[in-house]
Every structure is written in structure tokens, then in C-alpha cells.
Structure 1
Amino acid sequence: MPYVGTVETIRVPFDLGAGRRGASLGPGAIMRAGLECRLQQLNVPMLDRGDIPVPGHIPFATPDASLSAASSTLRYLAEVEQVNAALAESVAQAAAGKRFPLVLGGDHSIAIGTIAGLADHYRNLGVIWFDAHSDLNTEHSTPSGNIHGMSLAVSLGLGHPALTGIRGDSPKIKPEHIVLIGVRSLDPAEKTFIRSQGITCYTMHDIDRKGIGRVMEEAMERVSTGTDGVHLSFDVDCLDPLEAPGTGTAVNGGLSFREAHLALELLYEAGIVTSAEFVEVNPALDVNEKTAHLAVGLICSLLGQQIL
């Protein structure tokens, strides 16, 4: 069944949360790859809100070689806070208007704002997090200082108060309502946290053994139990780099083209997803816009495109 209401696209051309520049060009690349036309073909109403305001040109500092796990240095903290506060307001307005927020990133630090905005409307939000990483670091465990590796932790109320305090200090989501899918690169502190909090995490090992169909059945049951909405956060680095070369933190051995499409087709059939974001498309690293076109195809699978 098609989604009721209008899909509202919110573009976030921001990449200061990542370790490499270029993801700020992702939203434009996705639009140029034909998203609006494809959604029209699916008879999905679309409202394009345009770009969230982002800071002007800022020189990209090289990572501080002295940064350690004991450091509290967070790179571009003020800029990340500014962008996510603005994004949270836009997402909150879309959800309040009973529209389907579709956020186009940008690096994965923008999930902080997306989830903060959704928390205004959903008291018990379920989150399906497709990613090669878990993004559960904090300023005390980060090896890099890049905030895109901390966005899920911030949404759980862990991290710098400038970020956890966006639209209120309380955690925006609960560990039992999160499912990670496609994970294959975890820092030691993240492994410990996932186990201690009982977060459901399907690594590529699990997907290889169970198959993506069974994984999705279990994941959908998990995120739709005791929740009042389900958000999909899709980092394209969950895909194998052969499928999605245009991303800044690629890790070998990811999801195949068909595994990813099937996962999102099953989410559409279940009818549980109430918002989504697609992040980390980096045209500066892409090959013939392959990753941007794949992102468009995956969005369409989530919103109802079928083979027959």
C-alpha cells in the first residue's frame, strides 16, 4: 500500500561531521539522478523543502595527530550543532504536518537533527540503522573526533551537551528500539556498548548466515514492537564498495545490490516506516554517478517501486 500523505524532501549539503569532504554534494547528486521524476512515476506526492542553511566556506582542518580516545576534541562541533538544530526544526514541522520526512545528506552526523526533530512527534521511535559502522562513539572513545561516528550515541543521550541538548536534553530514542544492519567495522568501545545495552545488531556475518529476508523480518518485528513510528537511517557505506564507490568510509564486504533493494522492498510491504534519511553519498569519490543513482533506486524501493 502506498504511503499516505506527501513525501517532504529536506536536503542537508553538509560534510563537516565526516573525515573527508564531498558528502555535502550528495543531496544535489541525488536530485540530479532523477529522484523527483522517479517519485512522480510512482505517483508519490513530493514537496521539496530545499536546502537546510549550512555554514559558509570553512577550511577543512586535517585530523589532529594528537587526538586520542581520552581527548574531548570534537571537530566542527559548533557547525554540527547549528546545522542539526535547523534540520530538527524542519523535520519536526514535516512530521507535525503528517508528511513523510525524507532527509538527503550530507554526512551521517545529520541523523542527530533528524531524530531530534522526529522525537517531537514520536514518543517511542523505532530506528533501523543501515551502516557499516554503529556510530556509537562519544568524545571519550572517538579515535578521530569526527561527529558522524557519534550520531546514534547522541540520539541515545550520550555525548556533548551541545548535541544531546538539541530540542531537549532527554534521550530521543531507546536502545531496545534500535536495530543495526550491515555492520562490519566496530571500535572496541562500541562493541562493549552494544552488548551492554542489548542493542540488536545484525553484522554481515549474520546476514551471510540468515539471509537478508530473515534478518529484515526479525528487524521489523523488533522496531515495530512498543513504538509509535519507525525511522530508516540509511548510510550508503552499508553497501559493498563495488556497488557504492562514492562514499567516504567504505568497508569491503557489504550488502549487495539486490540485498539492499530487497530489504527496502520488504520495509515498503510492511508499511511501518514513517521517515527516512539517506546519507554519505560523496560524488567526489563516485564513479559515473553510480552511487547517486543507486541511492535514488533504493529510495524508490522504499516508497513502492516493484519489479512487476
Structure 2
Amino acid sequence: MTSKNILLIGAPVDSGKARQGCLMGPDAYRTARIAGALGDLGHTVTDLGNVAADANDIAPRDGLQNLSQTIGWTTALSRAATDAMAQGLPIFLGGDHSLSLGSVHGVAAHAAAKGQPQFVLWLDAHSDFHTCETTTSGNLHGTPLAYLTGRNGFDGFPPVPHPIPEQNVCIIGLRSVDGPERAMLEASEIRRHDMRDIDENGIAKPLGAFLDVVAQAGGALHVSLDVDFLDPSVAPAVGTTVPGGATVREAHLVMEMLNDSGLMTSLDLVELNPMLDERGRTAQLMVDLAASALGRTVFDRPTPRIL
């Protein structure tokens, strides 16, 4: 395994939805020893601390939650992501999924500067494909993929000079998509796999096919892992629980395949709400998954001793 320079970036974003608690996510990951887990694998790990949202004078807009604050997070995280990509592999410790408005914006700018196509793997129960004009909840954590693929309807947000081509996006784990999003998805070129597809065909087949495309294109791969990709029976610490999610073993297989491919260049860990956790088990599982994505194998996992 090749040692990597990993940069931990705290993104205590809590503006993308009404329910509060995700701002404590970065500290929960640190408490679950993410730096130590990755350092134990031989990587160099630097914790850059927490990003703060930029100030702006964006006026509130009816029907949208915390618009100004979310735009402030987007500009700050985009800048942090672009800077970090020049140094190594950033892991964004969230924070709700609106943080990806900024993290992916920034990594895509870095890829464009290198002349490299950017790809995105979205591991999520939701498609997050609303715009500010189509969302009925006003929760901006449901908008990143629409924004990042260059859709209209994001007045006040930074321009997207390097939109991700829709065919460069793959969503795995879908099981909660509303009517307008479904219509937009079906009209798009986004690769999408719901849990029925996973049940019938397994998780390795669609992921392997997407990774082959990324490899053939010589692309950079951003992975965005939402806690609700996992079944809530194993990962309860999320405000958007949807039954029927990925098992622990399916999730580890995804991460192990990512490590085998060597393609992942950046990672989001999002939607962890420690207020909803049970003795930190969701935070620990997410840390274990990050470790699998960066080289931990079954032989590296300590077996609990029964005394």
C-alpha cells in the first residue's frame, strides 16, 4: 500500500437542514480516533482544524433554510478544498451534506487546473438533486448534485465554472427520491443504483463498472459518504434515516474496492449527528469505513476479546 498525505478538514456545517446537531460531527470523528486509525495504516495525517463559513450579505429568501450561511460555507469550503488538493488527499469531516456544495466545487477546480476529468461517487439514500427552485423543504443539503452538475436555480451561490458532467456521477444506495427529483434524474445522464438494484445484482457490479470508467478516463474521484447510505439499524446517528440501507459488510466492500482501485482523491463523511448516536457507534463505523477506503483489511482489524 502506498502511503498518502491525508488532510483532515473539519466542516461543522449545520445550515443545510432544520434539525441541528451535525456541527458536532467533526469532533465526534476525532474522538473516534480517525487520525490514529489512518496513521496506523502508515499514512501521514494532518488535522487542519475546522473551517469557518465566510461572511456575506446575501439576503434571506422565502422557502430556503439558512441561505446566506450555506453560501458562506460553500465559498469557504471550496477554497479549503482547492488548497488541500495541492497537498494530498483531503477528508472533509461533516457536517451536513450541504458541505459538498463547497468541497466538490473546490476539488473540481483543482482537477480542471490539472486537465483531469472529475468524477463523483455519491453514497446516499437520497439523490440530492433538487435546485433552490424545486425544493419544497427548503433544506439545502438536498441540492449539491444539481448545483455541481451546473443546473440553474442557484442565484447567489458561486458560479460553477467546472460542472461535473452528469455521466461522471454515480449514486449508489437510493431509496428515498421524491417526484420532482425522480423526473429530473430520469432525464439526466447520472448513473444511479437504488437498493433494489443492489439486492438483485449486488453492490460490487455497479461500483466496479463505474470505477472502470474512472480509470479509463484517468479521472479524479471524489467520494461522498452519507451516514444514511447505511441501514439505520447499524448507523442510527442521522436525521434522515431510511430503512433498508447498506449493510456493514456491503459498505466495507465498497470501501475496499475503492482502496483496491487507487482512484479516490478526496472524501466527504457527512450527516453524522452525534446527538442521535448510541455510544458513538455510528461515528466509529464511519471511521472504520474511511480506514477501509485507505487500506485497512480484515487482517488489520483487532478481534475483540471476550473475557
Q: What secondary structure does 1:14 align onto? A: coil
**Which residue matches 2:18?**
19
What percentage of residue pairs aligned between the two structures are identical?
A: 36
Matched, 1:204 2:195: yes
Matched, 1:245 2:236: yes
Matched, 1:142 2:135: yes
Matched, 1:173 2:173: no
Structure-1 separation of matches of 2:24 and 2:216? 36
Matched, 1:193 2:184: yes
Q: Count residues in correspondence.
A: 290
Which amino acid counterpart does residue 136 of structure 2 have in structure 1? P
Matched, 1:115 2:115: no
Alignment deviations for residues 149-201 of structure 1 (CA, whole Å, 9 cap, x no partner): 001111112231322x2xx4435311010000001000111111111112110
Preserved CA contact (<8 Å) 1:26 1:282: yes
Q: What secondary structure does 2:105 align onto? A: helix
Q: Could you say what the CA RMSD is over the residues aligned between the two structures, in angstroms?
A: 1.8
Aligned-residue offset at 1:73:
2.6
**Which residue matches 2:302?**
none
Structure 2 unaligned spans of 5+: 56-60, 300-307
Structure-2 separation of matches of 1:120 and 1:135? 21
Matched, 1:78 2:68: yes
Q: What secondary structure does 1:119 align onto? A: helix
> What TM-score results when the alignment is normalised by the length of structure 2?
0.90
Structure-1 separation of matches of 2:102 and 2:284? 25
**Which residue matches 1:106?**
95
Q: What secondary structure does 2:110 align onto? A: coil
Which amino acid counterpart does residue 162 of structure 1 have in structure 2? G
Alignment deviations for residues 236-294 of structure 1 (CA, whole Å, 9 cap, x no partner): 10100001000010100000000001110011001111111110010011111111001
Preserved CA contact (<8 Å) 2:226 2:270: yes
Aligned-residue offset at 1:72:
6.0
Matching of residues 54-65 of structure 1 within 5 Å: 54=53
Preserved CA contact (<8 Å) 1:126 1:224: no
**Which residue matches 1:94?**
84
> What TM-score results when the alignment is normalised by the length of structure 1?
0.90
**Which residue matches 2:58?**
none
Q: What secondary structure does 1:102 align onto? A: strand
Preserved CA contact (<8 Å) 1:177 1:227: no
Q: What secondary structure does 2:258 align onto? A: helix
Matched, 1:261 2:252: yes
Structure-2 separation of matches of 1:139 and 1:216? 30
Q: What secondary structure does 1:240 align onto? A: coil
Matched, 1:301 2:292: yes
**Which residue matches 1:270?**
261
Structure-1 separation of matches of 2:89 and 2:6? 5
Preserved CA contact (<8 Å) 1:16 1:80: yes
Which amino acid counterpart does residue 143 of structure 1 have in structure 2? T
